[in-house]
Amino acid sequence: MQWGSASEFFAMGGYGLYVWTSFLATALCMLWEVLALWRRRVAARAEQRAALLGGMDETAT
Amino acid sequence: MSVNWSKYSAPMAFYPLAGRLIPWFAVVAVVLMGVGLYMGFFVAPTDFQQGESYRIIFVHVPAAWMSMFLYVVMAIWAGVGMGLNARLSFMMAQAIAPTGAMFTFLALLTGAMWGKPTWGAWWVWDARLTSELILLFQYAGVMLLRTSIDDMRRADRSSAVFSLVGVVNVPIIYFSVQWWNTLHQGASVSMSTGSKMAATMLMAMLIMTVAFWLYSIAVILARVRCIVVERDSLPVWDEKPAVIQEAVEAR
């Protein structure tokens, strides 16, 4: 390992801004995608259930 | 024991199968990302030329590879859909586009983060960067074309043609660093000359690539399931029996 301390690790030899922005952006994009899919699934199933129960109760979601 | 794989080309059979596979791909992807990040930050040595900035490679290269790979896979599904007139194939193509676009965006963003300290510029109109930017527009084009056509069959076929034509850009991106005199560095890993990187750097990069690949499979399968539900709003495949019973009684 080449890091003497935590601050050395976060500094990334002076390139911290570039390195951490890259990794953080990637992590955020992935988390956002998973969350968006989760919401999409909930919405799709709610709509499906409403269609299935249609006529009986429009708000059955 | 033989498995009749063609059975899974029907959305109804594919839907529960995909549901069972997603957690496995997701768990292995997360574990491999952990291992890859650990190796990338704590095992791989400092680069003698670029210092620590090179560590961006552990997200940049996997994202860039996935952006191209997913485009080809999307085009293949689109082609299969056209050839066999298979709905599930078109749904696969539809499900791949957003993830492919995301990785293209990340490849460009992390590339800018790497370009600034090493070249002194966030962006240059170099063959590699320009062709990758075009790939992002292609993904956007495929998705916009789909949403702009109401008739699902026409939307499927139009976006399939668009993705198939656009496949020519993938070899252009890949070989751009050889064909033109680019600022972007050449391939660090090549099939003919092997790797020019330290073994631990290469290993970390490959683990991250496999992790991104499994992540993509998990996310794409989840999206296909959403698309199946959205398109075929009626038969409920994983709804609780009680709800179906209730619905049947209500009719």
C-alpha to C-alpha distances, B135 to B64, B97, B173, B184, nearest whole angstrom: 11, 11, 9, 17
| Residue A19 within a domain | no
The pLDDT value given to residue B3: 62
| Residue A57 within a domain | yes
The pLDDT value given to residue B73: 98
The pLDDT value given to residue B234: 47
The pLDDT value given to residue A23: 97
Q: What does the alpha-carbon distance between residue B67 and residue B63 come to, in Å, rounded to a whole number?
A: 6
Q: Longest Cα pair distance anywhere in chain A, in angstroms?
A: 68
Q: Of the candidates B110, B243, B246, which has its C-beta nearest A22's C-beta?
A: B110
Q: In the structure, how many helices (H) and strands (E) does chain B have?
A: 8, 2
The pLDDT value given to residue B71: 98
Q: Which one is predicted more confidently, B77 or B2?
A: B77
Flag whether residue A6 sits within 8 Å of chain B, measured between CB atoms. Answer: no
- HSE (CB half, 13 Å, CA atoms) of A11? 9
Q: Which one is predicted more confidently, B50 or A36?
A: A36
Determine the average pLDDT of the residues in B10-32. Answer: 92
Q: What does the alpha-carbon distance between residue B212 and residue B188 come to, in Å, rounded to a whole number?
A: 19
Nearest to B180 by CA among B132, B127, B216: B127
The answer to whether the Cβ–Cβ distance between A49 and B243 falls below 8 Å is: yes
What are the tens digits of pLDDT across the range B128-170? 999 999 999 999 999 999 999 999 999 999 999 999 999 999 9
Say how many domains are in chain A.
1
Flag whether residue A8 sits within 8 Å of chain B, measured between CB atoms. Answer: no
Are B139 and B104 a contacting pair, CB within 8 Å?
yes
| Residue A13 within a domain | no
Q: Which residues of B touch A30 (CB under 8 A)?
A: 215
Q: Of the candidates A1, A2, A26, which has its C-beta nearest B106's C-beta?
A: A26
Are B60 and B118 a contacting pair, CB within 8 Å?
no
pLDDT band, very low/low/confident/very high, at B250 (cuts 50, 70, 90): low
Nearest to B179 by CA among B134, B127, B107, B111: B127
The answer to whether the Cβ–Cβ distance between B109 and A15 falls below 8 Å is: no
The pLDDT value given to residue A60: 47
Weakest-pLDDT range from A47-61, B19-33, B42-56: A47-61
Name the residue type at position B16.
P
Give phi and psi for B210, each to the nearest 5: -60, -40
What are the tens digits of pLDDT across the range A17-26? 999 999 999 9
What are the tens digits of pLDDT across the range B34-65? 999 999 999 998 888 888 999 999 999 999 99
Domain that holds residue A43: 24-61
